[in-house]
Amino acid sequence: MTRVNTIDDAVVQKTWARLLDSPRWEMAPVKNPLLLVDDLPSGATVTMGCFANSEGFQKSIELTAAIIARGFEVIPHLPTRSLTGRDHLKDVLDAYRDAGVADIFVVAGNTKKPAGPYDGALEALEDIAAAGFRIGVGAYPEGHLYMDEAAAFELLRRKQEYASYLVTQTCFDAEAFRSWLTRLREAEVSLPAHLGIAGVVQRKELIRMAGALGFGASMKFISKQRSLATKMMLPGAYDPTGLLTDVARVAADASLGVSDVHLNTFNQVASTRAWWDGLRGKTSS
């Protein structure tokens, strides 16, 4: 018998409601995300990718300020490999603070050559924490692209001295979440986990983005599950309801330290919002 079956259904149902109560809504820095903000729930927490590699940090700062002005909490991504140095970091942090940001998701970023001294996120965390920000860091339940799991866990142990929570890469397998979280906690990484799942996204777009965004391992898992693979090839949008049900069972295990879910909308906000509203309605009925 697996551990999930030892958790009372009432606890799972309560966890389901909690996960639906306050997810984070991720939006990508493409086109004009500001046009999509009105589709978000009032007062939602929005995580916003950074324009550093295209239009620069200033574009991200201005967009963040505009979204906050509309009544949302914004957690901007900060790719450290795009910073030219500590003075640049300070300028960016000052601007975000002036805009009303209190929480920053710190990543290395995907630029091939660092613009300054930061090769990864870790080197900047102390300065960001000293500036008074809450810090989120990334984690990879299906494996890091550039290091084995032991090294990835060691890096998270070092990051947790300054970080407040971790956010996982998008994953489609609740049991992969469970297994990884079990090993993570055994490795003495105690940061609360925000589990990344896809929203209601057109399947063709989801498959197209899989490799670019680094969740190819999860798509390989899907390809091995015949019924799930068939569903993913159908026209229309991917429905994450089944995955959320399974994730609620994982999150109901308090020892795994799951805080909430992180909805990657791929900027298909309206469809994800409609799905979320529907599930919320069922929970309250």
Angle of the 57-69 helix axis to the 86-99 helix axis, nearest 10: 20
Of 116 and 172, more confident: 116
- Residue 74 near residue 67 (C-beta atoms within 8 A): yes
Q: What is the CATH number of the domain that holds 219?
A: 3.20.20.220
Chain segment 175-218, per-residue pLDDT in tens: 999 999 999 999 999 999 999 999 998 877 666 665 555 555 55
Tell me if 240 sits within 8 A of 3, measured CB to CB.
no
> Any bridge partners for residue 79, and if so which?
107
Encode pLDDT of 26-82 as tens digits.
998 777 788 899 899 999 999 998 877 667 899 899 999 999 999 999 999 999 999
> pLDDT per residue over 206-240, tens digit each?
666 655 555 555 555 455 444 444 455 555 778 99
pLDDT of residue 250: 97
* 120's tokens: 């990864």
205: left (phi over 0), alpha (psi -120 to 50) or beta: alpha
Helix pair angle (241-251, 269-284), 10° resolution: 60
* CA angle (108, 163, 76) in 5-degree steps: 55
Q: Tell me how far apart the alpha carbons of residues 186 and 87 are, in angstroms, rounded to a whole number.
A: 38
**What is the total count of domains within the chain?**
1
Q: Helical H runs in 131-225?
A: 149-159, 174-186, 203-213, 216-224
The whole domain housing 181 covers 3-284
Exposure string (b/e) for 148-179, b if CB count within 10 Å is 16 or more? Answer: eeeebbebbeebbebbebbbbbbbbbbebbbe
